[in-house]
Amino acid sequence: MNKDWRRYRDWEKGEFVVVGADTAAGGIDFCTAQFISKTRLDVPLVYHSRVSATQMTPSLHTELEYIYDMTGVKPVIAPETNNGGTFEIERLATLNRQGKYIIYQQKRNVGTTESVENSIKLGWTTSSATRPTMLQMLKECIDSKLLTIYDKPTVTEMFSFIISQTSSSWKAQAESGAHDDLIMALAIAWQLYQSEAPPAIKKPRTRERAPKLKFHI
């Protein structure tokens, strides 16, 4: 495994994995992906590289197929739609010819009295509406020690995450000179932990045999 990946253990049979991916357009920012095991409640794999989203996509595809081959369960991934992510989501969908993983579908009716359902839009959109909620939910997860995190760079980013005042409100973000890419990817993955369930395995239909007729002479 190359320097872009940090693996802390391998996958196990029957394990269900959800993935949040934070995209970058290049420059000083990192492309990151956090892999949460919903089965074991830990983060055994992290992708972290100063590349563009175009370079990250094939790497994620290869690992997602490997996860399915090892676990027998299709992982679910939510790449961020920001910073050119929408185009990369389409590429990922095209690469997924064997259907070994699922790309997250955004939800409708969240926060309403209506039942939540999938929309046709793929990937995760970080916006002024979703950002505070996803970060608050991740903070509650960390404070409650619900998730085992092995990755030191992720923990370091948490210590540099601050609440700063903007012209109109307060905003949680990395302090000056620090990064928040790993935090954002983990926050996306934690949202998937809340909403996604392993896909049902279709059992082969057994053909019922017609009863044999008995004749009495």
Close Cβ partners of 64 (under 8 Å, ≥ 6 residues apart): 19, 75, 77, 96, 100, 101
CB 149 within 8 A of CB 42: yes
Secondary structure class of 32 (helix, strand, coil): strand
Task: Classify residue 200: in a domain, yes or no.
Answer: no
Domain total in the chain: 1
Going residue by residue through the chain (217 aa), what tens digit of pLDDT does each one get? 678 999 999 999 999 999 999 987 655 678 999 999 999 999 999 999 988 888 899 999 999 999 999 999 999 999 999 877 888 999 999 999 999 999 999 887 555 455 566 778 999 998 888 888 898 899 999 999 999 999 999 998 888 754 444 555 445 554 444 468 999 999 999 999 999 999 876 666 666 666 666 655 5
SS (H, E, C) 51-106: CCHHHHHHHHHHHHHHHHHHHCCCCEEEEECCCCHHHHHHHHHHHCCCCCCEECEE
Q: Note whether residue 208 is domain-resident.
A: no
What single-letter amino acid sits at 194?
Q
Q: In this structure, is residue 203 part of a structural domain? A: no
Tokens in use for 162?
A: 């601050």
Q: What CATH number is attached to the domain comprising 129?
A: 3.30.420.240
Q: Is 207 part of a structural domain of the chain?
A: no
Please give the Cα distance from 67 to 89 (Å, whole number).
Answer: 19
80: containing domain:
5-195
- Whether residue 101 contacts residue 63, with contact meaning beta carbons closer than 8 Å, is answered with no
